[in-house]
Structure formats: C-alpha cells, structure tokens
Chain A
Amino acid sequence: MKRYLHPLLSAAFGLAVFCAFAFPLRAVLNYHEQYQLFLLTPQYLTEHLCRPGGLSVYLGEAVVQCYNSRYLGAALLALQLMAVQWLARKLWKRWFALSFIPPVALLVLLGDVNVMHSAVMVFIIALTLAVALRRLPKAIAIPVWLATFYWTCWCSHYRVPGSTVSFKNIYDSKTYELIDYDRMVRGGDWQGIIKKARRKKADLPMSVCATNLALGMTGRLREEAKQFYQNGTAGLVPPFQREPFATLTTAEMYYQMGLVNTAQRYVFEAMEAIPNYNKSSRCIRRLAETNLVNGQYAVARKYLGLLCHAPFYRKWAERTLALIDKGEEAIDAHPMYGRLRRYRLTDDFLFSDKEADRIFGQLFMHNTDNHLAMQYLLLYPQLEGNAEKYMQYLQVVKTYMK
C-alpha cells in the first residue's frame, strides 16, 4: 500500500487541479488563451529561440493555446504541476511532502491572473536542469545551470507588465467574476450571463455592459433592464479605455449591432493594449470577420492565413477561407456575416460614442430587423433620464415598425 501512496497522492493532486480549472476556474483558461497568438511555424519558433527566455515562452504558449479546450487545458495544467512536483521529488527524495511546495506555490501564484502561465514552464525547465545536473560537481553544475536557465527562461515577462503585485490579486473574486463574464461574452452564452447577473448583482462597468448585451441579444433589454443594476449610459455604451479586457466586451456589443467598423476599431485597440505586446488569437479571428463583412478580403485572408498556422483555429480559418472563395452570395447567406452586412451602415460618417443614441437610431432606421439597436435606442434616453427624448425615439420606432 505504501508503495502506491506517493503516486496516488500525486495523482490526487493532479485530479484536484484538473477539476478546479475544468469547472469553477475555467474562465481563467479562456482569459490567458486570448492574449497570445501561437503560430506553429518555423519562423515563430526561431524568433523565440533567438532571444533569452524565448524557449520557456514558446513552450508556455504552446501549452496555453490548448486552453481553447477547457478539458485539455485543465489536464495539461494539471500535468505540468504534477511534473513540477515529480521533479521536486527527484531533488528532495527524503521529504516527499516538501515536493508539493513548488506546485502549491505555483497554484497560489497562478491565482493572480496577471501571472502568465508560461511561468509554470520556467519551473519545469529549471527543475529539469537541476535534476539533470545534480550528479555533476557543483563547480560545473551551477554555471551550466545558470547559463542554460538564462537562455531558456530569463529575461521574459512572467507577469503582465505594469500590473501591481499584491496578495489581494490572488483569486480575487471581483476579477474572477469579470473574466467569467468575458468568457461568456466570447462564447455568446447570453443565458449564462443573465443567470449569473441574477444570482449576483453585476455592478462593475464591464459586467453591466455584458448583462445589457445579453438582455439585448435575447430580446429582453427593454422589459428587464430595470431589474438589473444600471450605471447610466456608460453601462450601455462604456467609454473607450486603453485596456484589452473591457474593450472586448464593448467591441462585441458594437459587432452584434452591426457597427462593424467600430467593433473592428475596438478589437484592434484591445489587441494593441495587451501589455506584453502579444497579439491575440481571439482578436485576429474577430478582425478577420470584420474585414470579411466589410468586403476587405485581402486583409481578411491575411488574418485567416495566420490562423491557419494556429492549430486550434486552423479548421475555422480554412472554413472561412473557403467561404470567401465561394463569393459574395455565400457570405450574404451566412447567418452571422449576412445579417451584419444587412445591419451595417453604408454611409461613411464620423463615429462619436457621445452621440451613441443617434447611431443606434440610424442603425435601426437602416434596418428595422436590428432589434438590438432598437432596444439600445430606447433604453439610452431612459438611462439619461430624458423622458422627452425617450418619447421621441419611441415615436420613431413605432413609425418605422409600421
């Protein structure tokens, strides 16, 4: 029995990690995956290998791309932490319990969403090197370890640059709530968002925006908006911020409404605001879509061509490339892209989020099937507390609905 105890404890640890990240913490996987664009090309590999710390980043990104699948992602994360524990055990044979300190410490660190998951790979490489060199004399082993560690792991960001280091960030419930909203917005889980907002008041600008969008997408915004917390028009149309997280939710709202150019701008801004200068698979995918809807096929093909080298996006990219090859009619008939083409405004005028209600009105008048725009149009003056404007907009809606 004693023979099996240690492996069983390791397996139990791995299983616990898997269950945590496959279920309650699944949004974390989505959060990290969307802030990188891992390409399976020789150029991408050599670019990383050529710089100090590049190997750990490359391997870390290779793992994180698998977070597209929550079960695979959670399993890989669990296996990595088990590997850390196993390597620690190799180093400290006598004290089995101590071997759990590094993976548990890592788990605590990973509770801060600003700590990148490639940090786990650093631990694995560092410990693997230590295990491999442990039989050599220290005078040789230490310099070799330092040199190899420098080239494979050092000089890379393992935290989001500019983020504050604080114990408060570790498994912070507010942050985790927001990244869960973000996951559901990305996946179009509108019912899930509403359910979550009913369970616990959504009172942060981003969660309010996500809730309103979910209500709008399910056609319940006019009737049910008042049942949820509102923070004025900023909850409907959040002002632009130079940060990637909330901007993506706002971009989704514009995209679903048919303001494709504005959505494209927000997604581009979100990608450029990623603090470690990474590009984003989620953003590139959406940019391919906005360009496709706008008929900018050359740039859409460029983005899709890139995604063809991203293993978890390849199939989708190939399907979308095939759709472009089929021509305009096929795109017009596509349930999402066709709808957006019918919704989007065809006149070029300058966008202003301070006059968002005017743009909602134009979208609605351009296509009265655009119920999302209609709902936003009618809620906007209510949130402003402008009854006169509301009556005016209601009249417009009634006239056009006839």
Chain B
Amino acid sequence: MKRLIYILLATALSACQPTPHDVQAVNALPDIYPDYIDVTIPVGIAPMNFDMDCAETMVVAVKGSRKGEMEARDARFDIDRWHQLTRENEGGDLVFTVTALIDGRWQQFRPFAMHVSQWPLEQYGLVYRKIAPGYETFSDIGMYQRSLASFDEECIFDVTDVDGQCMNCHYANRTSHEQYMVHVRGHNGATYLYDKGREVLLDTKTDSTCASCTYGYWHPGGRYCAFSLNVAQQNFYTGPRKTIEPWDRVSDIAVLDVESGVLLRSPLLEGSDFQTTPAFSADGGTLYFCAAPHHDMPADYQQVKYSLCSIAFDAATGTFGEKVDTIISGSSAGKSVSLPRPSYDGRWLMFCLTDQGTTPVSHVESDLWLMDIKERRARRMDEVNSPEADAYHNWAVGSHWFVFGSKRDDHLYSLPYLACIDDSGRATKPFLLPQENPRQYYLESLHSFNAPDFTDGRVGLDRRSFGRKVMKGDRQKVRVK
C-alpha cells in the first residue's frame, strides 16, 4: 500500500514537471556548476550532479561511448544506474546533453563529455578537516570522512567531543584507516595514535625539543612517523590582496618511533634554521622536508624561501644520513617550496611553490608542481592549477589519483578537487568533490576542506570514547633519543 502511494506520488509529481518541446539548439556549452565539462572521473565515483543557475529546470541525457545511457531531471542522477554506467564505460566517455528551460524556452546545449579513467581509484573515501578559513579563532572544527561512491559524509569527531579544543589534521599511513594520528590542541592537548587497534595518547612536548609534534608523515613500514616541531605564529595584512601570513618562529624535524615512544633526532634537522613538513619516500629510505635559513621574524618574512631537501633514513636502525641534499634551492629559485608529497609508487613528488613562507593555502600564488624523482625534473602543473591558491595535495595509494584543496571557487574557501595522472605525469582537469545538491551544499558551507587525504576504509573512531580519553588527560610522554 505504502509502495503504491509512493509510486502514485512520484507519478503525480513527474506529471507536473514540464517536458521539453520546441527545443532550440544552442551552439554553446552549458554553464554548469561545478564545472564538470571534460573532467576525468574514476569508475564508481558518486553521481556527478550539477546545477545550472539560469535554468528553471533541465533534462540531462547521458550516453556511454561504449554502452548504456540514462536520463536525469535537473542533473540528479540515480546512484545505482550511474555506477553501472561508469563501470560499463571504463576507459571511455560519458556524453551529456543538457536541455534546459531558460526564460520560458527550452534550449539544448552542445553535448560535453566526462572521461571515465582506466585507472581505478580504489579508495573508500576522503578524510578532511572542516574549518572556517579564519585567522586565530576557530569554532566548529571537525574531522570528517566522506565516501567517494556516495554522498555520505560522517563526522569522525569535532570540537564538541573535546570541549571546544582545536585540532590538527589527520595523518594516515598510506591512506590506512587502521594506522593514523590526530593532534588535539589546547589545555588537554594530545597526539592521538591509532595503530591497528592500539590507541595511545601522546604528549609530544619535551624539555629538549622546541615544540610539540605538528605536521606528520608516516614511514611506509608503519613503525615511524616524521614530524616537524613548529612554534607557529601569524600576522595579518592591511592591504586588499592578502589576508594572513603564518610563519614559524622555530621549527625542527624529528622522527617518532611509535612503538617505543622515542623521538629520533639529527643535528642536521634542528637548530636555528627552519625545517618543516617532512615526508618519507615510497621506500622509506629518504626523508624529504623543506628548509630555510634563519631570519628575523616577522620583519624578514618576505625573505624566507624554503628549499626542498632530503636526508637518508635507515628504518632498521632508526638513524639519519650524514648529509642533507638540497633538491630545489629556494633562494636560487626565488620561491618557497612547501608540502612535499611523494607518490606511493616512488615516481613523483608533488609540492607547492609560493613567493615565501611555508603555508601555501594562505598564498594566492600557490601552485602545484610535479617532480620526476628519478630525473629530478620539476614542472608546474598548469593543467590543474588555478589563479587562486592550490595546495594540500595527497596521493591515492595507486598513485594515479590525487586530491588537493583549491580556492578557485571564491578565493577564500578551500574545496577538495580530484584529478587523475597518467604514466607520463600528465594530469587531467580536476573535478570538485560531487555533492547531491552541489550549488546549495557549497553555498551554505562556511568551511574550508582542510588537508584532504584519501582513506582506504571507513575510520571507525568512537567519538565519545575518544573525547573522554582526551579530556581525562592521561598521556604517554615521548622521550628523546
């Protein structure tokens, strides 16, 4: 009976919707939001729903270049049919024909394509921190996970679980949902370590280190996690173009042995110079990081140009190499390198380049660059960059997909974009993370999607238990070697 009522209601509603007639062909592509024209998508991605602001309603026909077709009112695609269509057209195209009712007349736009990549994404979803892109005060920060196959978004934990305290991003070992870390800041601050069922709350500030662990990156073997230890501050601009300039008063690098709770240090990674944002190579034998000579801060903030450096690391003995290799010199390039992220297959290293400093998301000029690790040749990724800040990139495990945050939508809010990369290192046009009602979702969101990363499974953190443990204050103090 209930089913019958639903069917009758759906029929009645669809009967009320206008159907295209006297359609006029328009020799232009439709102006859709998000811009999904000519993007490359993975098989099994959530439906790429879109909006067209000027249209009262629209009918979208989708035809696979290999097999299958579907139609959707207002570009709201049925999720099962959509998944089937992407599977049937792996390596092919989906061609979209939009017929829209604009100012009382039906207009049909030139068809456009979305390409279905031959490279599988093979990740459950994304993890990101939602945070207002503000200055010093933050209210409703939360760690979220989002399924890539659907629109399901879930809060992993937020400020309400930890008595309003700030939190830093989540660091997973090669996107693992079973081995990750999260920092909570404030009076009950801690580094929460989850290692395949083992939960530890660490106090990473010691008497002989300059600060607590900040930016982290796991060693692929899972025993170590490299951290920069930063005392970060920020200043604010008066002029109209820039808003905020975060900078480090001091910053060192250390590697935490998560099994013994010991911080491993090297004299080459600490001292008065700035060292930050470490990342292990795919084989774990090299630790990449950014380094800059010491400057008087904030007076000399414009002179701080970070270089891309590396140092050998021996996981068997937990020891560092004896020399630092400068791969890209910041002072020679007149630019600053930040956030090195090696691909998990060992071929590429993606990083950001800005005029100065170490927080690319605050720099409108921040672009993504890609370096061929073997040949040490880097290029700006013009195919994915925008005139606004592009930063916070992370690789999927297969190393053919990456996610990054971009402020291209409105200059302020960083949103997650995904793109595919082929064997030659050429990336496809990135696409904004799909939403069921994209215009409304992104319009009403007053958050940036900070530091998005992939996750290979659903992060199963128990929010309440996590909050209780953080507030309880029991910490395992890390020691320094």
Q: Mark A244-279, 1 if CB is under 8 A from B, else 0.
A: 000000000000000111101100110111100101
A276 vs chain B, min Cβ distance (A): 9
Q: Are B238 and A351 in contact, with the CB atoms below 8 A?
A: yes
**Bound-complex Cα distance A272 to B236 (A):** 17
A316 vs chain B, min Cβ distance (A): 18
For chain B, the bracket of interface size reads 20 to 34
In-complex Cβ contact of A261 among B137, B140, B243 (8 A): B243
A347: interface (CB < 8 Å): yes
Check A41/B444 contact, CB under 8 A, given A272-B139, A350-B237: yes
Residue of B nearest to A309 (CB): B444
Q: In chain B, residues 50-76, which have Cβ atoms closer than 8 Å to a Cβ of chain A?
A: none
Q: Mark A284-328, 1 if CB is under 8 A from B, else 0.
A: 000000010111101101100110000000000000000000000
A329: interface (CB < 8 Å): no
Residues of B within 8 A of A344 (CB): 239-240
Residues of A within 8 A of B410 (CB): 296, 298-299, 301-302
Residue of A nearest to B301 (CB): A350
**Bound-complex Cα distance A349 to B245 (A):** 10
Check A348/B136 contact, CB under 8 A, given A43-B444, A302-B410, A306-B443: no
Residues of B within 8 A of A348 (CB): 237-242
A218 vs chain B, min Cβ distance (A): 26
Check A277/B159 contact, CB under 8 A, given A298-B409, A350-B245: yes
B411: interface (CB < 8 Å): yes
A294 vs chain B, min Cβ distance (A): 4
Residues of B within 8 A of A274 (CB): 139
A331 vs chain B, min Cβ distance (A): 13
**Bound-complex Cα distance A305 to B301 (A):** 36
B278 vs chain A, min Cβ distance (A): 28
B7: interface (CB < 8 Å): no
In-complex Cβ contact of A351 among B132, B136, B137, B235 (8 A): B235
A206: interface (CB < 8 Å): no
Residues of B within 8 A of A351 (CB): 235-238
Q: Are B443 and A298 in contact, with the CB atoms below 8 A?
A: no
Check A268/B411 contact, CB under 8 A, given A261-B236, A349-B237: no
Among B140, B160, B238, B440, max chain A CB count under 10 A is at: B238
B217: interface (CB < 8 Å): no
Residues of A within 8 A of B136 (CB): 240, 242, 269
Q: In chain B, residues 289-307, which have Cβ atoms closer than 8 Å to a Cβ of chain A?
A: 298, 301
**Bound-complex Cα distance A362 to B220 (A):** 53
Residue of B nearest to A350 (CB): B235
Q: Are A346 and B239 in contact, with the CB atoms below 8 A?
A: yes
A88: interface (CB < 8 Å): no
Q: Are B413 and A349 in contact, with the CB atoms below 8 A?
A: no
Residues of B within 8 A of A291 (CB): 412
Q: Mark A344-361, 1 if CB is under 8 A from B, else 0.
A: 111111111000000100
Residues of A within 8 A of B272 (CB): none
Q: Are A265 and B139 in contact, with the CB atoms below 8 A?
A: no
Residue of A nearest to B135 (CB): A265
Q: In chain A, residues 216-260, which have Cβ atoms closer than 8 Å to a Cβ of chain B?
A: 240, 242, 259-260
Residues of A within 8 A of B398 (CB): none
A92: interface (CB < 8 Å): no
Residue of B nearest to A284 (CB): B446
A39: interface (CB < 8 Å): yes
Q: Are B411 and A265 in contact, with the CB atoms below 8 A?
A: no
Check A242/B137 contact, CB under 8 A, given A39-B444, A268-B132, A299-B410: yes
Check A305/B134 contact, CB under 8 A, given A350-B237, A351-B238: no
Q: Are B444 and A268 in contact, with the CB atoms below 8 A?
A: no
B416 vs chain A, min Cβ distance (A): 17
Check A265/B243 contact, CB under 8 A, given A298-B411, A302-B413: yes
B324 vs chain A, min Cβ distance (A): 31
Residues of B within 8 A of A162 (CB): 164
**Bound-complex Cα distance A216 to B164 (A):** 38
**Bound-complex Cα distance A301 to B245 (A):** 25
Residues of A within 8 A of B139 (CB): 271-274, 277
Q: Mark A140-163, 1 if CB is under 8 A from B, else 0.
A: 000000000000000000000110
B19: interface (CB < 8 Å): no
A142 vs chain B, min Cβ distance (A): 28
In-complex Cβ contact of B444 among A240, A306, A349 (8 A): A306
Check A359/B238 contact, CB under 8 A, given A43-B437, A299-B410: yes
Residues of B within 8 A of A268 (CB): 132, 134-135
Q: Are A349 and B132 in contact, with the CB atoms below 8 A?
A: no
Residues of A within 8 A of B137 (CB): 242, 269, 272-273
B163 vs chain A, min Cβ distance (A): 10
**Bound-complex Cα distance A41 to B440 (A):** 9
Residue of B nearest to A353 (CB): B236
Check A345/B411 contact, CB under 8 A, given A269-B137, A350-B298: no
B244 vs chain A, min Cβ distance (A): 8
Q: Are A261 and B135 in contact, with the CB atoms below 8 A?
A: no
**Bound-complex Cα distance A259 to B239 (A):** 8
A44: interface (CB < 8 Å): yes
Residues of B within 8 A of A346 (CB): 239-240
**Bound-complex Cα distance A303 to B337 (A):** 33
A65 vs chain B, min Cβ distance (A): 16
Check A302/B132 contact, CB under 8 A, given A274-B139, A350-B237: no
Q: Are B236 and A265 in contact, with the CB atoms below 8 A?
A: yes
25 of the cross-chain contacts (CB-CB < 8 Å) are A39-B444, A43-B444, A162-B164, A261-B239, A262-B236, A265-B135, A265-B236, A269-B135, A272-B139, A294-B240, A298-B411, A299-B411, A302-B410, A302-B413, A302-B443, A346-B239, A347-B238, A348-B237, A348-B241, A350-B236, A350-B238, A350-B301, A351-B237, A351-B238, A359-B238
Kindly list 6 other residue pairs between chains A and B, CB separation below 8 angstroms, not including A43-B441, A265-B135, A265-B243.
Answer: A269-B136, A293-B240, A295-B240, A302-B413, A345-B239, A348-B239
User: Nearest 8 CB-CB pairs, A to B?
Assistant: A348-B239, A298-B410, A277-B140, A350-B235, A272-B137, A299-B410, A294-B240, A299-B412
